[in-house]
Amino acid sequence: MSSLQPVRGTHDILSDESRRHRWVSKTARAIAASYGYGEIATPIFEFTEVFARTLGETSDIVTKEMYTFDDRGGDSITLRPEFTAGIARAFMSNGLAQQVPVKVFCQGPIFRYERPQKGRLRQFHQLDVEVLGVPGPLPDIEVIALAAHILDALGLRDKVVLELNTLGDSESRKAYRAKLVAYLNDFRDRLSEDSRVRLERNPLRIFDSKDKGDQAVMAEAPLLVDTLNDASKVFFDELLAGLDAAGVAYRLNPRLVRGLDYYCHTAFEFTTETLGSQGAVLAGGRYDGLVEMMGGRPTPGIGWAAGVERLAMMIDEPPAEARPVVMVPIGDETRSLALELTQRLRHAGLTVDLGYSGNLGKRMKRANKVNACAAVLLGEDEMARQAATVRDMDSGEQSEVPLASLENHLARYR
82 touches RNA by CB under 7 A: yes
User: Which of the stretches 171-179, 293-301, 394-402, 406-414 binds RNA when contact is defined by CB under 7 A?
Assistant: 394-402
- Smaller CB separation from RNA, 256 or 350: 256
Site for RNA in 20-49 (CB under 7 A): none
CB 236 within 8 A of CB 244: no
Helix (H, G, I), strand (E, B) or coil at 138: helix
Q: d(Cα 252, Cα 38) in Å, to the nearest integer?
A: 31
Site for RNA in 327-346 (CB under 7 A): 330
260 touches RNA by CB under 7 A: yes
Nearest distance, CB of residue 358 and RNA, angstroms: 7
CB 166 within 8 A of CB 347: no
Closest CA to 370 of 401, 328, 412: 328
User: Which of the stretches 17-25, 163-171, 269-277, 341-349 binds RNA when contact is defined by CB under 7 A?
Assistant: 269-277
**DSSP label of 269:** E
112 touches RNA by CB under 7 A: yes
Quick one: which of 31, 88, 106, 281 contacts RNA (CB under 7 A)?
281
109 touches RNA by CB under 7 A: no
Quick one: which of 85, 106, 160, 282 contacts RNA (CB under 7 A)?
282
User: Which of the stretches 39-47, 209-217, 293-301, 342-350 binds RNA when contact is defined by CB under 7 A?
Assistant: 209-217
- Smaller CB separation from RNA, 22 or 347: 22
What is the side-by-side order of every strand in the sheet holding 67-70?
45-47, 76-79, 67-70
Quick one: which of 126, 165, 266, 342 contacts RNA (CB under 7 A)?
126
Query: Across the strands, what pairs with 304?
Result: 129, 284
94 touches RNA by CB under 7 A: no
User: Which of the stretches 46-54, 86-94, 205-213, 239-247 binds RNA when contact is defined by CB under 7 A?
Assistant: 205-213
CB 271 within 8 A of CB 280: yes
- Smaller CB separation from RNA, 350 or 377: 377
213 touches RNA by CB under 7 A: no
Cα–Cα–Cα angle for 184, 189, 193, rounded to 5 degrees: 95
391 touches RNA by CB under 7 A: yes
Nearest distance, CB of residue 270 and RNA, angstroms: 7
306 touches RNA by CB under 7 A: yes
Q: d(Cα 224, Cα 170) in Å, to the nearest integer?
A: 12
Closest CA to 63 of 260, 306, 286: 260
- Smaller CB separation from RNA, 98 or 357: 357
- Smaller CB separation from RNA, 306 or 352: 306
- Smaller CB separation from RNA, 132 or 257: 257
198 touches RNA by CB under 7 A: yes
- Smaller CB separation from RNA, 136 or 259: 259
Quick one: which of 251, 362, 405, 411 contacts RNA (CB under 7 A)?
362
User: Residue 129: phi, psi to the nearest 5?
Assistant: -135, 135
Counting other chains too, the contacts that 88-94 makes at CB distance below 8 Å and 24 or more residues apart are 88/54, 88/132, 88/290, 88/291, 88/294, 88/296, 88/301, 89/42, 89/46, 89/50, 89/294, 90/40, 90/42, 91/132, 91/291, 91/296, 91/299, 92/291, 92/294, 92/295, 92/296
Residue 366: which H helix or E strand, with range?
A: helix 360-369
CB 164 within 8 A of CB 252: yes
User: Which of the stretches 96-104, 174-182, 240-248, 373-381 binds RNA when contact is defined by CB under 7 A?
Assistant: 373-381
164 touches RNA by CB under 7 A: no
Quick one: which of 80, 120, 255, 286 contacts RNA (CB under 7 A)?
120
Quick one: which of 37, 51, 124, 250 contacts RNA (CB under 7 A)?
124
Closest CA to 378 of 408, 393, 398: 398
288 touches RNA by CB under 7 A: no
CB 286 within 8 A of CB 2: no
